[in-house]
Structure 1
């Protein structure tokens, strides 16, 4: 990493330590405060609405929807977002580009929501059979590290497959049209493509054990320095954790609200999605750091980032108590 970027990051870390603490001291959120939260697949908005937590928030909140981490990164860097729901790789790629966007919240599922999904007519029984295949590749998305780890488990590298760079929104059509052999997809797309065109998840049981499905909320530093915005984030994170607990405890109601009614997935396919899904788990920064370091190490060893960062510097701990109180 260039010296100028390195010292900029160090200065930013010190900035977070002082400004976040000062910001959290605010006691109430002004109703005129607006929090803009980047969403994906409208998951966050639906979760808050289904659980009844959104109506309890006393400030203005918006959920612009995005397809993938790279688009979110550009929007937050432009100042159009306050915080963002992203997969496990975007905060690392942002940091590699010289922008330290502090992680304020972490949630995970023990079983990954990503699936390596093959085009119609292709069956892959072992991860080693990925060798030589045309595989979707989205740098800066959580799909990136999932694919790299799949190759690692098979004794392969990125050089052993033909990488096809696509946008997240283009992945289902790429499988449908057989433009790639394998894509890293999420539900409900996997179930839909299996039924509609005869696509297939990779059958190797090891694929289900690759990585947990970890996601983050990261924030613009300027937002954390604003007392009202920081207090709004605090209230939002508490609501999100409570909503997640509700979804764990009310799986049928949540799945009907989100998959069946909103995503227009049939009840039978909704049941199949739930069968492969594990509960949401909410972590403090201290609990989240070891896995984040593992992700950094995977990307570094694959040559996808040039610096092996210290994961501790990617987190702020000022919101940990909110998570502890709500989970």
Structure 2
């Protein structure tokens, strides 16, 4: 049964975990408990998805899901050897590699429509992306919000120096729009709908904003884990169950919303509906399928001066788990 643990406990106990070899295929999945995984979670999303779908129990998974607040904290734990694999957004693997730590991507899941929305403060309407020029814009370096904003500027023929960047924490973004501390912020639901309803904020009206980038997330691994045959089999079992859980999500959106957003996060039903409406179906990709978009993200960040060098996206992936993803999706 999948379970959640305190992050500090992971940091103390991770290196003491025993490793046991398992056979491939179904036998390996049922023997998964012999080689438990420590999987970094965010907002307890993975833990809840495995619980709601029942895939963790069906596959006999033994997984510990320490919860983290963003990519930098996950990278710190990876460097400390406290994690096996991690769920992260689209930018952390790039930032980690740029800092000298290559954490190979073992799986990619994406949505063809971005969940981010460029949202303006009350009293300001942004009709075209070009109207972002000279505006005070939130900037969260090292996050998916960063690359989304850069691409929005690219589409308008602008660069970062054409806006006034205001560095903020993600948690501060809704209040920054509410109070007018910034003109525009990159937000997600339910904050967009909530701020539109409560204070008259407005999503950017340019249709191009909806076509900027897909929402892409990754599972990346600590290299030492990929050298351990038992851990590799455990990751295969985990990813197979994850793909099945993703299929359950696609087919049971309302049940997922009730379980995770309304039940776990205590979000009002109308806000849950706004979140679900903004989410396109999950699509799982092999490494070959995922490389082109990852290269695009690298190029966007490099051209904006946010990376010291441009590197080849293919070097960020391993194809070890492609057969599992292709067979199970």
Normalised to the residue count of structure 2, the TM-score between the two structures is 0.86
Q: Structure 2: how far apart are the matches of 1:106 and 1:248? A: 16
Distance 1:198 1:229, change over 3 A: farther
Q: Deviations over 1:193-250 (max 9, x none)?
A: 3333333221211111001111101111112122222222111111111111111111
Partner of 2:296: 294
Q: 1:157 aligns with which of 152, 159, 162?
A: 159
| 8 Å contact from structure 1 (residues 289, 311) kept in 2 | yes
Q: 2:189 aligns with which of 183, 187, 190?
A: 187
Q: Structure 2: how far apart are the matches of 1:270 and 1:212? A: 21
| 8 Å contact from structure 1 (residues 24, 227) kept in 2 | no
1:36 aligns with 2:38: yes
The farther-off stretch of 148-157 and 261-270 is 261-270
1:115 aligns with 2:117: yes
Q: Structure 2: how far apart are the matches of 1:310 and 1:245? A: 31
Deviation at 1:59, TM superposition (A): 4.3
Partner of 1:134: 136
Partner of 2:281: 279
| 8 Å contact from structure 2 (residues 32, 62) kept in 1 | no
Structure 1 runs not aligned, ≥5 long: 1-21
Distance 1:23 1:208, change over 3 A: farther
The farther-off stretch of 240-249 and 116-125 is 116-125
DSSP 3-state at the match of 2:118: strand
Partner of 1:211: 213
Q: How many residue pairs get matched?
A: 306
The farther-off stretch of 115-124 and 96-105 is 115-124
Q: Deviations over 1:289-323 (max 9, x none)?
A: 11111111111111111211111111000001111
| 8 Å contact from structure 2 (residues 88, 218) kept in 1 | yes
Within 5 Å, which residues of 2 pair with 1:133-282? 133-282=135-284
Structure 2 runs not aligned, ≥5 long: 1-20
Deviation at 1:32, TM superposition (A): 4.5
The farther-off stretch of 45-54 and 66-75 is 66-75
DSSP 3-state at the match of 2:107: strand
Q: Structure 2: how far apart are the matches of 1:121 and 1:78? A: 47
Superposed CA RMSD in Å reads: 2.1
The farther-off stretch of 306-315 and 261-270 is 261-270
Deviation at 1:253, TM superposition (A): 1.4
Structure with higher RCO (Cα < 8 A, 6+ apart): 1
Distance 1:173 1:258, change over 3 A: same
1:311 aligns with 2:301: no
Partner of 2:126: 124
